[in-house]
């Protein structure tokens, strides 16, 4: 087994572990706050992946010299993934804050943030509305 290869790609292994952890939390947990935390872990794994693919071995920062005499042999690191991640971080913060604000409103309305409890409450409300509608229609519903 080539340990140098495995250790050289450690960031990709961490990306996979983090992504699967985040996905598991989103799918397996019924608590809405835990689901948001799982989405943030998943999102961080994607950030790590994009930054990893932007790294070029032996590359330098993509800043041109002031005299504009560019050596054609110079290898530059790709700046695009890093720029995309800056935007994604801002979007991630906004999405997380919106999600947490929705959880607060859900808690105020249903007095719980557990997904199963909310579904039970919604089912009970729907049954009561159907019963009331049937009574209003004279039992023809």
In angstroms, the CA 70 to CA 42 distance is 39
117 DSSP 8-state letter: H
In angstroms, the CA 103 to CA 123 distance is 19
Residue 18: CB atoms within 10 A of its CB come to 19
C-alpha pair distances (Å), 111 with each of 22, 106, 117, 119: 26, 7, 9, 13
Domains along the sequence of the chain with CATH: 3-110 (1.10.287)
Each residue of 76-132: pLDDT tens digit? 888 888 888 999 999 999 999 999 999 999 999 999 999 999 999 999 999 988 887
Average pLDDT of 55-80? 82
Each residue of 7-32: pLDDT tens digit? 777 888 899 999 999 999 999 989 99
Does the reported pTM lie above 0.75? Answer: yes
Give pLDDT, residue 125.
92
Report residue 131 as tokens.
């019963």
In angstroms, the CA 141 to CA 135 distance is 8
């Amino acid at each position: 087994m080539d340990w140098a290869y495995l250790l050289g790609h450690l960031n990709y292994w961490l990306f996979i572990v983090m992504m699967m952890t985040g996905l598991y939390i989103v799918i397996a947990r019924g608590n809405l706050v835990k689901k948001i935390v799982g989405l943030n872990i998943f999102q961080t794994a994607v950030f790590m992946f994009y930054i990893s693919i932007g790294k070029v071995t032996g590359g330098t920062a993509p800043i041109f010299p002031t005299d504009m005499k560019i050596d054609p042999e110079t290898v530059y690191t790709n700046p695009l993934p890093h720029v995309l991640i800056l935007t994604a971080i801002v979007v991630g913060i906004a999405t997380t804050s919106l999600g947490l604000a929705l959880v607060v409103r859900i808690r105020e309305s249903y007095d719980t943030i557990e997904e199963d409890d909310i579904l039970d409450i919604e089912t009970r409300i729907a049954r009561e509305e159907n019963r009331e509608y049937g009574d209003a229609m004279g039992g023809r519903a």
